[in-house]
Structure 1
Amino acid sequence: METYGVWYHEVTRMKGREWMRRLTLAQKPTPLEPLTRLGELLRIDLWVKRDDLTGDMVTGGNKIRKLEYLLADALDKGADTIITTGGPQSNHAKTTAALTKRLGLHPVLLLSGKPPEETTANLLINKLVGAEVHYFFPRHPREMDDALLRLAEEMKAKGRKPYIIPVGGSNGIGTLGYIDAYQEMDQQRQEKQLSFDFEFVTAGSGGTFAGIYMGHQAVQASSKLIGVSPWLPSQEIKERIIDCIKDARTLSTDSVPLSGEPALEDLSIYDQYIGSGYAKPTPEGMKALQIMASEESILLDHVYTAKTMAGLMDLVEKGVIARGSSVLFWHTGGAPGLFALQERWSEWGGG
């Protein structure tokens, strides 16, 4: 493995009689911190798991934990090209491209929409690291999957050995990263002698929520796990989460005490905070983003975490979360995409 450098460590995990390898790319553990000022405003005991601080120059957030497993699998399969997809300012696509280059492989990104007039924020990082970028117009996540398969065939025809990573890194392999993350958080929680009533996490492409759900089940946590969808209707994202859980259970070495697969009704996902669509900021989300920045000096992103925080604040206001409750917010990163909005800040309700 010396051809890939010495900037990461390798970790092995037993999978039946095989070994499931993981690269250590993230800076861990990430902090578990109180949000004292915002908690006082909301009259709750509010904490944050800072997975926006997983490290490296591209601020990859939650994506790096997934990529530790996915890129290890790609290396094990002899890939020389990594293909993935996402929105034009995709944090996942940018992080995949950057880490792929650091492994000496070739990143190919299939981004939704048309080529932008200006190369800003995550698109600029894609350009700087030398990613090969294509654009297309999917109407549904399944079309993203189909487009990745077609692009992989094109790469094979050119003599490359492609490895496909789905949108958000959300499949069984990527999900393993958030089983690890939950175990990490739970150890911190115990050390700080904390007990949470609620946990909030963004349910974007499904893999992060799936891993947290599995970790939550594994330690038999008493908190209520709530997901906020910034993209898909509740039923659809639940189905994607369950698919990730099914796949991860065939790979995970951890004992996850699930009695069969979770049913749709076992997952608590709110889709009321999507607004007019994916990656389209909402006034409520932008307000939550501004409050978080001004009270705690922590940046959310307009695509995912701002909408999740807006959901948390709304459910407190409506009494679904009682005043005085102890609440954990999983911050999954993504703030660099904000810099693509700087000239349209007031348009999106940013003031």
Structure 2
Amino acid sequence: MNRITIANVPTKIEKLNFFNKHLNKTVFIKRDDQTGMATSGNKIRKLEYLLQDAQNQKCDYLITSGGIQSNHARATAVLAAKFRMKTLLILKAGEINRMEGNLFFNQLVGAKIKLVSENEYRDLTPMIEELKEELIDSGHRPYVIPMGGSNGIGAQGYVDAYYEILHQEQELGLVFDTIVVTNGSGGTYAGLSYANKESHQNKTIIGMSVLNQSEEAVHDILHVLTDMNQYRDNHFCFSTSEINIIDRYIGLGYGKSQLDELKFIEKFAQEEGLILDPVYTGKAMYGLYNELKNGNFQESQNILFIHTGGIFGWTDEKINMLFGAV
């Protein structure tokens, strides 16, 4: 498939001293937080394919959805502005909707924002169809991108990332037997898992869920994996046993933080000089640390954690929880 080239890739792979110091385990990190600035993180890899598809269809208006501080929504809005397209973001309103973080950047680049309740957000399909028809009636050509950019097209971005990792293994002279990634809408995990089967590498791919319980997360990933076949001329079948999702670190729920999670992120930052976010990578790294501490992943010798970005998730609420109100 063709794609627009935007991301700064390949992203670096670095060894983490934190895990060797505290747990005597070898863990590396792939810096997909450095794919760009306002477009940083894993979403840009997916959007390279999705925006190409939108341009192929001569669309001029992007519609997508996410939480109030969605990284995907922010990346979509920024790239739409870059390519002179308009954006409609359907965002699930939180208890507090301050103009900060990703929400601020959405507004800054001119995205149209529609806030919806949690009940409305559970099934957005009728609303999206209605809004799409309104845009068509207004003379636009809308293109709908699913939450997180997670479909058979968007997931191609992490097929690319997987093959990028294989090339970097040769350069580094080592093999990663285990890849750990945050799992939200499932597209990043699906891309890695698909390429793992396609390349016959048999690595262990672990998804640390920050959104759904494992059963629902696996269902979403299987849906994306099936959709991917049509774009790669394959007929792969995937079973639930091939998908490894850990849901023990969702905590209070998506986007909600606990003090021990934030304290871990602080300690990690002070010892590694590397910033994680409280919504995605912070919870996932916290989960990896505790899994290793509890004696899991005994067979994993070289673990690669993919940093999927999200620094704009540090809102006032989370900063005040960690350091106290200023």
TM-score (norm. length: structure 2): 0.93
Post-superposition shift, 1:339? Answer: 3.4
Post-superposition shift, 1:141? Answer: 6.8
Q: 1:230 aligns with which of 184, 198, 210?
A: 210
Look up the match of 2:301: 325
* Counterpart check, 1:251 vs 2:227: no
Distance of 1:346 and 1:165 partners within structure 2? 34
Relative to 1, partners in 2 of residues 1:102 and 1:339: Cα closer, same or farther, differing over 3 Å?
same
* Counterpart check, 1:193 vs 2:169: no
Look up the match of 2:102: 122
* Counterpart check, 1:211 vs 2:191: yes
Secondary structure at the aligned position of 1:119 is classed as coil
Look up the match of 2:241: 265
Distance of 1:249 and 1:285 partners within structure 2? 38
* Counterpart check, 1:32 vs 2:32: no
User: 1:37-67: per-residue Cα shift (whole Å, max 9, x none)?
Assistant: 3432221011001111101x31430000000
Q: Structure 2: any 5+ residue segments left out of the alignment?
A: none
Look up the match of 2:150: 170
Relative to 1, partners in 2 of residues 1:325 and 1:334: Cα closer, same or farther, differing over 3 Å?
same
Distance of 1:282 and 1:166 partners within structure 2? 29
Secondary structure at the aligned position of 1:239 is classed as helix
Q: 2:315 aligns with which of 309, 333, 339?
A: 339
Q: 2:51 aligns with which of 71, 80, 92?
A: 71
Look up the match of 2:62: 82
Distance of 2:97 and 2:178 partners within structure 1? 42
Look up the match of 2:31: 50
Distance of 1:191 and 1:324 partners within structure 2? 21
* Counterpart check, 1:281 vs 2:257: yes
* Counterpart check, 1:309 vs 2:285: yes
Post-superposition shift, 1:344? Answer: 2.8
Question: Quick one: which amino acid aligns to residue 85 of structure 1?
Answer: S
CA contact (8 A) 1:200 1:330 kept: yes
Question: Quick one: which amino acid aligns to residue 23 of structure 1?
Answer: I
* Counterpart check, 1:296 vs 2:242: no
* Counterpart check, 1:94 vs 2:74: yes
Relative to 1, partners in 2 of residues 1:160 and 1:241: Cα closer, same or farther, differing over 3 Å?
same
Q: Structure 1: any 5+ residue segments left out of the alignment?
A: 1-19
Question: Quick one: which amino acid aligns to residue 273 of structure 2?
Answer: S
Question: Quick one: which amino acid aligns to residue 329 of structure 1?
Answer: F
Secondary structure at the aligned position of 1:250 is classed as helix
Question: Quick one: which amino acid aligns to residue 28 of structure 2?
Answer: W
CA contact (8 A) 1:92 1:169 kept: yes
Distance of 2:277 and 2:109 partners within structure 1? 22
Post-superposition shift, 1:193? Answer: 1.3
Secondary structure at the aligned position of 1:24 is classed as coil
User: 1:162-207: per-residue Cα shift (whole Å, max 9, x none)?
Assistant: 1000100000000100000100011101221112232211111010
CA contact (8 A) 1:196 1:222 kept: no
Secondary structure at the aligned position of 2:128 is classed as helix
Relative to 1, partners in 2 of residues 1:231 and 1:294: Cα closer, same or farther, differing over 3 Å?
same
Distance of 1:62 and 1:324 partners within structure 2? 24
After alignment, is 96-105 or 141-150 more displaced? 141-150
Look up the match of 1:3: none
Post-superposition shift, 1:28? Answer: 0.7
Distance of 2:144 and 2:95 partners within structure 1? 22
Secondary structure at the aligned position of 1:320 is classed as coil
Q: How many correspondences in the alignment?
A: 325
Relative to 1, partners in 2 of residues 1:216 and 1:341: Cα closer, same or farther, differing over 3 Å?
farther
Secondary structure at the aligned position of 1:189 is classed as helix
Distance of 2:127 and 2:3 partners within structure 1? 27
Question: Quick one: which amino acid aligns to residue 107 of structure 2?
Answer: K
Relative to 1, partners in 2 of residues 1:283 and 1:190: Cα closer, same or farther, differing over 3 Å?
farther
Secondary structure at the aligned position of 1:188 is classed as helix
Look up the match of 2:132: 152
Post-superposition shift, 1:153? Answer: 1.9
Distance of 1:73 and 1:48 partners within structure 2? 30
Look up the match of 1:133: 113
Post-superposition shift, 1:222? Answer: 4.1
